[in-house]
Homo-oligomer: A and B are copies of this chain.
Amino acid sequence: MRANKSKRAPSDRTVGRLTLYRRILNEIADDGVKHVHSHALALRAGATAAQVRRDLMVVGYEGTPRRGYGVAQLISALTSFLDEPGGQPVALVGIGNIGRSLLAYFVGRRPNLSIKAAFDVDPQKIGRVINGCRSFDLSELDREIEAQGIRVAILAVPASEAEQVARRLVDAGVVGILNFAPVALHTPPGIYVENVDVTMSLEKVAFFSRRKKARTAG
């Protein structure tokens, strides 16, 4: 919140790295590590030590050259920078294969980001509680989003429906969309869209793998 007032907004890439640093720190904290140097964090995150130090200046916590960063303090600084204090409710649209996977995946994983409402058009999938999340008919989308004050949505509908559903989400008050539909959304300015396309990613890996020689074992 502080950064919001006094500093330029951090870039998309910086925020991505900050969330990665936090997960790395949580993991090493579980292993009992108390202090970490920027170069160790950089190695795990695929960045340089200078990059790590620059990124972490944004959150307003500095380590010492001798001991590095205090792991617990840095996690706490990252959390107050990245997270909304009371948590942010998330909507999911589309309870198909991807949608169900996400419900299972996010349950309890990030207490701060929990899927509070799921929507579909299939009568079999609505009016239920799936992994702790209530499911609704798509016709109730606008009312639920507004009633719960939801501003973040995950879009996991077929590509042919994605544009229209995105428009309804935005009209209901959503300002950030994580899009799993293999289509580019044309949203109004000011809406943040992040695309995830696992099929594309696997097809790319497969394509480039065909062109490469395996390493000789040894």
- Which residues of A come within 8 Å of B, CB atoms? 4, 9, 12, 15-16, 19-20, 23-24, 27, 31, 43-47, 82-84, 88, 90, 97-98, 101-102, 104-106, 109-110, 112-113, 151-152, 154, 158-160, 170-178, 182-186, 188, 190-192, 194, 196-215, 217-218
CB distance from A46 to the nearest CB of B (A): 2
> Hey, which chain B residues are within 8 Å of A207, CB to CB?
15, 19, 82
CB distance from A98 to the nearest CB of B (A): 7
Which residue of chain B has the shortest Cβ distance to A105 in the bound complex? B97
Which residue of chain B has the shortest Cβ distance to A27 in the bound complex? B159
> Hey, which chain B residues are within 8 Å of A98, CB to CB?
105
A109→B199 contact, CB < 8 A: yes
CB distance from A124 to the nearest CB of B (A): 17
**How many copies make up the complex?**
2
> Hey, which chain B residues are within 8 Å of A210, CB to CB?
84, 88, 151
- Of the listed residues A15, A201, A203, the one surrounded by the most CB atoms of chain B closer than 10 A to its CB is A203
Which of B110, B182, B205 sits near A199, CB closer than 8 Å?
B110
The 7 listed contacts between A and B (C-beta, < 8 Å) are: A15-B204, A46-B183, A46-B184, A88-B210, A151-B212, A174-B214, A190-B215
A211→B4 contact, CB < 8 A: yes
Take A178-B201, A212-B176 as given contacts and tell me if A45 and B206 are in contact as well, using a CB distance cutoff of 8 Å: no
Bound-state Cα–Cα, A167 to B68, Å: 29
Bound-state Cα–Cα, A196 to B46, Å: 14
Take A27-B160, A212-B176, A214-B173 as given contacts and tell me if A196 and B196 are in contact as well, using a CB distance cutoff of 8 Å: yes
CB distance from A216 to the nearest CB of B (A): 9
A175→B84 contact, CB < 8 A: no
Which residue of chain B has the shortest Cβ distance to A110 in the bound complex? B199
